[in-house]
Amino acid sequence: MNPRSLFIFLVWVASAGFFLAGQETGEQAGPFYNVDTEKQVEGTIRELLFEPRYEDRASFLILILEEKKSGEVYRVEISPVWFFDRDLHIGESVKIVGSLYDKEGTRYIIARRLQSAGETFLLRDSRGFPSWRGGKMKRAGQHKGRGI
């Protein structure tokens, strides 16, 4: 076996090994609303973003939220942009209940309930079913208008 052939063989073995290893441990499961990791976070909005989620099904509103107590930063997934009709502003205080997960060193929350300025938005039901797929968003409190 010449050095060139040996190199190719080693590359192939390494690739196969990597593939098989990945298969054994399973592909990294994507984020879903896991009721086991539900958490409440109260913090201040530091940034508002729009990001595609769930294989680009829709553009989602994402809040970069800094927790008041610990100063920890979360990326909070709210809902598709078209669904959320309340103005949110940088610096505004919000309270979030949602499912927490970590990915690549970043803490993510899929929001189920959002409270802000006396209004409560139910974005998902208790098992995580998205309100935008099952009728109108339930909300309580004073309605302050549309748009982000």
Partner 1 sequence: MKRKDFLLFFFLPFVGILVIIFVFSTLSRSYIQKKTEELVREQLAATAEILRVNLAHFLEEGSTPRDILKLYEGDGNIYYLAILDENRDILAWSSRYEGYLPYSSQDAGRTAPWTISSPVGRIFNWLSPFTRRDGTTYFLYLGYSLKSLEEMTTRSRRNLLIIFASLAAVGVVFFLGLFELQKGYLAKSKEAEEARHEKDRFREISAFTSAVAHEIKNPLNSLSLLYELLRKKVPADIEPEVVEGKSEVQKIARIVDRFSDALLPLRLDKEKVALREVVTAASEALAREIPRSSVEFRYAESRPIRLLADKNLLTQCFFNLLRNAYEATDRGFVSVEAEMRRKRITIKVVDTGKGITPDQLPRVFDPFFTTKDKGMGIGLYLARKIVEAHGGRIQVESRPGQGAAFTIQLQGGSHE
Interface residues with partner 1 (CB under 8 A) are 19, 22-23, 26-27, 29-36, 53-54, 57-58, 77, 80, 99, 110, 124-125, 127-131, 133-135
Q: Supply the minimum distance, in Å, between the C-beta of residue 71 and partner 1.
A: 27
Specify the residue for token string 């098992």: 127
Q: Indicate the residue among 42 and 125 with the shorter CB distance to partner 1.
A: 125
> Tell me, what DSSP letter sits at residue 12?
H
Q: Indicate the residue among 48 and 58 with the shorter CB distance to partner 1.
A: 58
Q: Supply the minimum distance, in Å, between the C-beta of residue 123 and partner 1.
A: 10
Q: Supply the minimum distance, in Å, between the C-beta of residue 129 and partner 1.
A: 5
Q: Indicate the residue among 45 and 78 with the shorter CB distance to partner 1.
A: 78
Which residue pairs from 115-119 have beta carbons closer than 8 angstroms and sit at least 24 positions apart in sequence?
A: 116/86, 116/88, 116/92, 117/92, 117/141, 117/142, 117/144, 118/142, 119/86, 119/143, 119/144
